[in-house]
Structure 1
Amino acid sequence: MQFDRAQEELTQSLEMARSIDHKRYIALVSSILARMYQVRHEFDKGVTELERAISIQRNINDEEGLAYSYVLFGKLFYSKQNYDRAIKYFDLAADYFEKHDNEEQLGLIDLNKAILYMNVPDKRDLANNLMDNARVRLKESNNNYELSRWHYYKARIHMLEGDYAEAEKVAKGALGIAQGDGFIGMTMYSYGMLSDIAELRNNPQQALEYLKKANAVRDEVFDMNKEALASETNERLGVDALKSTVDELTIQNAEQERTLKVNKLTTILSVALITILSLLTLSLYKNNNLRARANELLQKKNSELTLAKENAEKASMAKAQFLSTITHELRTPLYAVTGLTHLLLEESPTESQKEHLNSLKFSGEYLLSLINNILDLNKLEANKVEVVNSTFNLEKRISDVLIALKNSADEKKTKLHFKFDESIPKKLIGDPLKVSQILINLIGNSIKFTEDGDIWINVKKIKQQDKNVYLQFEIKDNGEGISKEKQKAIFENFTQGSTQINRKFGGTGLGLSIVKNLLSLLDSEVELESELGEGSQFTFDLKFEAPEGEIVEKPVAPSIDESKLTNDIMIDKRILVVEDNKINQMITRKILEKNKVICDVADNGSIAVEKVKNNHFDLILMDIHMPGISGIEATIQIRKFNEEIPIIALTAVTLDESLDEFYLNGFNDIIPKPYKTEEFFHKINKYLAARETTV
């Protein structure tokens, strides 16, 4: 009941923090909720709350809050027995505390890592060393609760090593601190440990006495959980500050109400006085009534407008959620359509059948393009897209985009010409993914409306000021062109140059809208120059940073000339397909076996891990959502004993703001389903070729 009441109070605090839009306190209350869920062993709920807190803390650059959240994340993953991730988050917190010379918090991190390693036999020496480091760092600490924890777990290590006399001595130290400061839970655990030690030392009478004392305080523990949680979070994270802010706002509100009452009384007295002094009182009274009715009507209209605004926001959120859900659900059946179409085209159909299958293939690819565009636009309009800066080679990034679009250009008999200013630094700091999306949409748009023509892609440096590099991008074609009256509307959703163009070339009219939104996110805008029948030119400017010195990037794989890759490299290669959907299994397997691949299938992640342990494979195609362990968890387990094998996520999940979670957990690349077979083979061939080079 105490926990339920505490959770209710925390929920109310979260609502108050949201009502005043105080980001730091929203993150704070989420962290407290996460801590409470950890105590209640509801670890998944704790992770969810903590992810919300960390997301806000990153946005507001609250480094101190992040450090404490990382510590709690480490404890949560330790509770879930995910020791590798626990250590990772403890180390992230340690980085912050080392930077600020916070010896006490570094000591607590050493203590938590020692507790983690003490249960791993071959890591016990490391646990002992960390315990010693923690003791040194905590020597000036007044945090008696953590000091009692240190004695308790140090005694546990002595027990595991068989040194029962020393274990009893240290355990009594833990008990003394716990009793002195009224730590009931730690007192109970210390009595329990002393009982275990007495039993191991063949002293059953003393063991029984300690056990009775442990049971005597056990019933008090649960009543203290709420107070202990409130005390710890008040001390560490400052819940009192949130209450103080809310109280202050309440006082201000009451003061305003008192002021309004005084003003109202003054008005009434004034009207009474004027009534006595003048015959104009009646006229004034009527005017006041009219004004009051007008105010009442105005308030009513304001309430209606507020309600309408809230309903519109709810409708917008519902639309965004619906679009995200329905487009995701369309991917799985669409994968079957495109995959089976590809297989049928490979089986020597008649000319009539081939014509129908090509139409089906075109429709599937068109539908996939529509789904992807709607997802991109939906994320942009919902403000779910963030700028993620990293160091990259811009010239290579654009070359990769042109390689990906070359087949489409060849089908249109259109030539691509690329000119890159040699004075531009080799390495730049910016968002490479957003740059790629903008160029893919603009160049893809030019290819679509240019047949048997030319497209020029020019990048030049405008100026460079200190670290800032200003570049101009120009995409020019000699295709259909856009009429003057349509040039402003062309960047709106679902808009195209004309009805005739829509009938001739198809498309949704979303590509240029996505370009406009992405450039707005990067503090830029696109300019268009075009004449109907004479082609179009799109121009935009972007600002990048030049990194200090030459950054040497560690290559993921040896350099491969991707333009020369062929499907011959797949012959006799062993590929494992991890997929629980039988139709998807059959499609992927047949596509691979058509190219003489030796293909094996695993129905879930557990089977995949065992097969990789006992067999040799050249590459793994891994689904994400499966019964049992997920594809991410299976990849984590495989990486523990095999770091070299390429693992590609072959999945229909919606890839939101960041792909970091996939790469951090061991994936080499991602192929979203459904896919174009050219992209599918290109990525498989690239990693097979890279692996042959390293063998």
Structure 2
Amino acid sequence: MLKHFHKTSIISVYVFVMLLSAPWIMAQGSIGSKDSLEYYYGQALTFRHQNKISMAMEALDKAAKLSEEKEDIKALLDTFHKMALLYLELDNRETTIFYWDRAGVLLKDIEYPYGEAVHKFIDGTLLYRSGNNFQALSLLDEAKKLTNDKNLLNNMLLAEANIFLNIEKFDNASTNYYALLVNSDEFERAYLATLANLGLATMYDKQGKYGDSAKHAESALQLAQQNSFFREVLTANDFLARTYEKIGDYEKSLGYNKNLTQIKDSLFGIEKVKLEAKTANKIRFDQQSKTIGDLQAKNEELSASANRSEITAILTSAFLTIISILAVSLYRNNQIKLKTNDLLQTKNTELEQARDAAVSAMEAKSNFLSTVTHELRTPLYAVTGLTHLLLDENPAEHQKEHLKSLKFSGDYLLNFINDILQINKIDADKLEPLNIEFKLKKVLTDVIDSLQQNAKENDIKVVLDYDNNIPLNLLGDPLKISQVFMNLVGNALKFTKGGQVSVLARLKERSEDNATIHFEVSDNGIGISEQQQKNIFDSFEQGSIQINREYGGTGLGLTIVKSLLGLFKSSIHLKSKLGEGSTFYFELDLKVDETASLDEIPFELTVEDFEFEGLHILVVEDNKINQVITKKMLAKKGITCDIANNGNEAIDAAKNNEYACILMDIHMPGISGTEATVQIRKFNPDIPIIALTAISMEDSLDEFYAAGCNAVVTKPFKPEVFYQKIGENVFKTNLSDKV
């Protein structure tokens, strides 16, 4: 007797998918020659495993027609059972019942234990799906007594395992699943092992054993990929994304979420659902049309015998059948619309979940980089600081070469860290372009002047070709624009020997308050091949390993340029030939500031303007090596200092002594430098406080200023920047008077 069934929320999604996938029983016998029943059954099985449902339906439809031609009742019954299971997988309740009933009618007229076993198996599956676990187990037990077919028994074993898992009889479920891992099934060995691995993964997940759960899900994914079990590939990726998120491995979770997004459309697209529904309706309509045709044939026979009453009954029956078909068709169309809407809603939900997982992974990545940066910058401060001090102490000539190499390595490592952080900040949407007044020609000139030393070392001439029609005062972000040109010109210098690097700026369009400017950076260096140009803007990409080894560098410069220009809604382009050089070009739309002063700034602060001799300051630093380095750097300028080892000592020292300024380390044991600054500001709002920190993220800098810091210096710092910040904050009043 068929039990009522419906969707239920108490069954987990993975067990639900396995139950839909598992009950596919091969007919007794092996795969036969083409156009035989065994051939069509084998085709249907292969297509079903590969989620090609419409092709599986068509193969079974051919099997049904062949069974009728041969008048093979058992084969037709087997085919109806397979169709019922296939429509059950599509969650098509009505058509499942249609074929299950047709198989049941045939079973009444023949003695066929195998067919009865499959019939009970389907009924048990329906009971399980409706939440009647114990009734389902009872039916499965009855079915097992009717057959010794290995494939059917293996599928029953899997169904029982899923039911045991649902009612949390984990020992029973585990026994069945592990037995299926080593099954020797003739038709579905790999498929059953895949589903058994998914079952074990779900079981261990329920028990909180996420490591074992991930291991079996990985095994399931490997088997599914090897055998093109597309539905199981999707299930395993989804499961692994969630499991690694629970474990805390966000990189792996994000990877599986990306896999999930890429394959989901191909497996469960709206067009695919429509195609499968169309194929299902066509095959069922053909079956019903055949029934009507049989009735019409019988009607003609009765007409010949003048049996009018029977003719009337047949016509009435045919009429009612046609009306039923029309009603079913209307119902099915409505169901298709509902399912399509449900599918769209489900996909939207899944995409939102994937987006949230990606955001979580990105936040974890940012936090990781922030922590690693601080841990790297702190010892790097000691390396660069000590190197600077040793170079200033007149080392022997043979020592200078080693010290310069050490300084170069420290600077290289620092630039590498800064490049990675720059990309991370752009990826995390933590950078926004400023909109301040600046002079473009001065920005370009400053960039070229800062790189002139590198150019001279390589016998390169750097030329600026600047269009004087470009408005003098523009609004934009001069720092990010200078970063773009530092990377582009620096790149050109690195790959050019004894040649010329040209920087071009041309006014392309001008309106009342806008200017579109075309930029080019050209060189006559080694050039870039067409193949290498495809990947040249990718991270850590310099064209080839040989180029990386010969010229050095991180391969992040052009990635940063591309990302920074993206903030301005611009894009970088490249023209290049091997051996002839390269030209990078782009355009920027900038606002024109007509109200700004046309005069140059008459006075700029430099380190030489400050007389540091006699200053006494407080250095707050918990690292002993950093204390020594900072103290020696101050002593070189005639500055004396007191040392505070933590925030509490800093507060006490600031209360009891007079200092020209305070150099405040941020990360210390006890109270942090930020908290110490807040406390000092309560009794001394005027003393300059300069934060020394290994953190360079903008959101952290805002926190320091909010606490009361006057300036922030990021470690490791260049000595001239260090002295400049002290001078600006200690002598700014005098310098303002001087100006």
Q: TM-score, normalised by structure 1?
A: 0.52
Distance in structure 1 (CA, Å) of the matches to 2:705 and 2:483: 20
The verdict on how the C-alpha distance between 1:337 and 1:454 changes in structure 2, with shifts beyond 3 A counting, is same
From 392, 395, 398, the counterpart of 1:352: 398
The residue number in structure 1 matching 2:232 is 300
CA shift, 1:542, in A, is: 2.7
The verdict on how the C-alpha distance between 1:374 and 1:620 changes in structure 2, with shifts beyond 3 A counting, is same
After TM superposition, the structure 1 = structure 2 runs for residues 263-282 of structure 1, keeping only pairs within 5 Å, are 264-271=92-99, 274=102
Q: Which amino acid aligns with 1:306?
A: D
Establish whether residue 333 from structure 1 lines up as the match of residue 379 from structure 2: yes
Establish whether residue 651 from structure 1 lines up as the match of residue 693 from structure 2: yes
CA shift, 1:405, in A, is: 4.5
Distance in structure 1 (CA, Å) of the matches to 2:730 and 2:575: 44
CA shift, 1:604, in A, is: 3.4
8 Å Cα contact 1:632/1:662 also seen in 2:
yes
8 Å Cα contact 2:437/2:596 also seen in 1:
no
CA shift, 1:479, in A, is: 4.1
The residue number in structure 2 matching 1:671 is 713
Establish whether residue 313 from structure 1 lines up as the match of residue 313 from structure 2: no
8 Å Cα contact 2:370/2:695 also seen in 1:
no
The residue number in structure 2 matching 1:364 is 410
Distance in structure 2 (CA, Å) of the matches to 1:456 and 1:502: 24
Establish whether residue 550 from structure 1 lines up as the match of residue 550 from structure 2: no
The verdict on how the C-alpha distance between 1:618 and 1:442 changes in structure 2, with shifts beyond 3 A counting, is farther
Distance in structure 2 (CA, Å) of the matches to 1:374 and 1:682: 26
CA offsets per residue over residues 645-678 of structure 1, 9 Å max, x none? 5543221124245743333444343321112334
Secondary structure of 1:540's aligned partner = strand
From 672, 685, 697, the counterpart of 1:630: 672
CA shift, 1:397, in A, is: 4.8
Establish whether residue 582 from structure 1 lines up as the match of residue 410 from structure 2: no
Q: Which amino acid aligns with 1:561?
A: E
Distance in structure 1 (CA, Å) of the matches to 2:90 and 2:574: 61
Report how many residues are paired. 429
Establish whether residue 513 from structure 1 lines up as the match of residue 559 from structure 2: yes
8 Å Cα contact 1:365/1:676 also seen in 2:
no
8 Å Cα contact 2:520/2:583 also seen in 1:
yes
The residue number in structure 1 matching 2:437 is 392
The residue number in structure 2 matching 1:482 is 528
CA shift, 1:511, in A, is: 1.5
Q: Which amino acid aligns with 2:253?
A: E
Q: Which amino acid aligns with 1:390?
A: N
The verdict on how the C-alpha distance between 1:610 and 1:305 changes in structure 2, with shifts beyond 3 A counting, is closer
Distance in structure 2 (CA, Å) of the matches to 1:380 and 1:461: 28
After TM superposition, the structure 1 = structure 2 runs for residues 56-455 of structure 1, keeping only pairs within 5 Å, are 264-271=92-99, 274=102, 298-309=230-241, 311=244, 312-314=252-254, 321-381=367-427, 383-395=428-440, 397-398=443-444, 401-402=447-448, 405=451, 408-409=454-455, 412=458, 414=460, 416-418=462-464, 420-425=466-471, 428-450=474-496, 454-455=500-501
Secondary structure of 1:491's aligned partner = coil
Distance in structure 2 (CA, Å) of the matches to 1:411 and 1:619: 40
Distance in structure 2 (CA, Å) of the matches to 1:653 and 1:523: 28
Q: Which amino acid aligns with 2:624?
A: K
CA shift, 1:590, in A, is: 0.5
CA shift, 1:538, in A, is: 1.7
Distance in structure 2 (CA, Å) of the matches to 1:636 and 1:482: 54
CA shift, 1:329, in A, is: 0.8
The verdict on how the C-alpha distance between 1:678 and 1:413 changes in structure 2, with shifts beyond 3 A counting, is farther
Q: Which amino acid aligns with 2:418?
A: N
Q: Which amino acid aligns with 1:474?
A: E
After TM superposition, the structure 1 = structure 2 runs for residues 486-501 of structure 1, keeping only pairs within 5 Å, are 486-501=532-547
Work out the percentage of aligned pairs sharing the same amino acid: 46
Establish whether residue 524 from structure 1 lines up as the match of residue 574 from structure 2: no
The residue number in structure 2 matching 1:561 is 604
CA offsets per residue over residues 475-524 of structure 1, 9 Å max, x none? 23344443443233222222224444433332121221222233334432
Distance in structure 1 (CA, Å) of the matches to 2:715 and 2:571: 32
The residue number in structure 1 matching 2:164 is none
Q: Which amino acid aligns with 2:539?
A: N
8 Å Cα contact 1:569/1:688 also seen in 2:
no
The verdict on how the C-alpha distance between 1:309 and 1:362 changes in structure 2, with shifts beyond 3 A counting, is same
Distance in structure 1 (CA, Å) of the matches to 2:467 and 2:654: 47
The verdict on how the C-alpha distance between 1:466 and 1:694 changes in structure 2, with shifts beyond 3 A counting, is closer
The verdict on how the C-alpha distance between 1:323 and 1:636 changes in structure 2, with shifts beyond 3 A counting, is closer
Q: Which amino acid aligns with 1:302?
A: L
CA shift, 1:450, in A, is: 4.1
Secondary structure of 2:668's aligned partner = coil
CA offsets per residue over residues 78-120 of structure 1, 9 Å max, x none? xxxxxxxxxxxxxxxxxxxxxxxxxxxxxxxxxxxxxxxxxxx
CA shift, 1:400, in A, is: 5.2
CA shift, 1:337, in A, is: 1.1
Q: Which has the larger radius of gyration?
A: 2
Q: Which amino acid aligns with 1:313?
A: S
Q: Which amino acid aligns with 1:585?
A: Q
CA shift, 1:530, in A, is: 3.0
8 Å Cα contact 2:570/2:588 also seen in 1:
yes
8 Å Cα contact 2:373/2:695 also seen in 1:
no
CA shift, 1:584, in A, is: 0.6
8 Å Cα contact 1:560/1:689 also seen in 2:
no
CA shift, 1:587, in A, is: 0.2
The residue number in structure 1 matching 2:261 is none
From 636, 655, 673, the counterpart of 1:594: 636
Q: Which amino acid aligns with 1:632?
A: T
Secondary structure of 1:460's aligned partner = strand
8 Å Cα contact 1:397/1:436 also seen in 2:
yes
The verdict on how the C-alpha distance between 1:450 and 1:261 changes in structure 2, with shifts beyond 3 A counting, is closer
Q: Which amino acid aligns with 1:631?
A: G
8 Å Cα contact 1:441/1:515 also seen in 2:
yes
Distance in structure 2 (CA, Å) of the matches to 1:475 and 1:354: 35
The verdict on how the C-alpha distance between 1:626 and 1:545 changes in structure 2, with shifts beyond 3 A counting, is same
Distance in structure 1 (CA, Å) of the matches to 2:550 and 2:230: 53
CA offsets per residue over residues 170-195 of structure 1, 9 Å max, x none? xxxxxxxxxxxxxxxxxxxxxxxxxx
**What do you get for the CA RMSD once the two structures are aligned?**
4.6
The residue number in structure 1 matching 2:722 is 680
Q: Which amino acid aligns with 2:233?
A: K
CA offsets per residue over residues 135-187 of structure 1, 9 Å max, x none? xxxxxxxxxxxxxxxxxxxxxxxxxxxxxxxxxxxxxxxxxxxxxxxxxxxxx
Secondary structure of 2:400's aligned partner = helix
CA shift, 1:339, in A, is: 1.0
8 Å Cα contact 2:528/2:581 also seen in 1:
yes
Q: Which amino acid aligns with 1:300?
A: E
Secondary structure of 2:393's aligned partner = coil
Q: TM-score, normalised by structure 2?
A: 0.49
CA shift, 1:332, in A, is: 0.8
CA shift, 1:427, in A, is: 5.3
Distance in structure 2 (CA, Å) of the matches to 1:551 and 1:362: 41
Distance in structure 2 (CA, Å) of the matches to 1:468 and 1:278: 82
Structure 2: runs of 5 or more not aligned = 1-87, 110-114, 126-151, 153-158, 160-187, 196-228, 245-251, 256-360
CA shift, 1:326, in A, is: 2.5
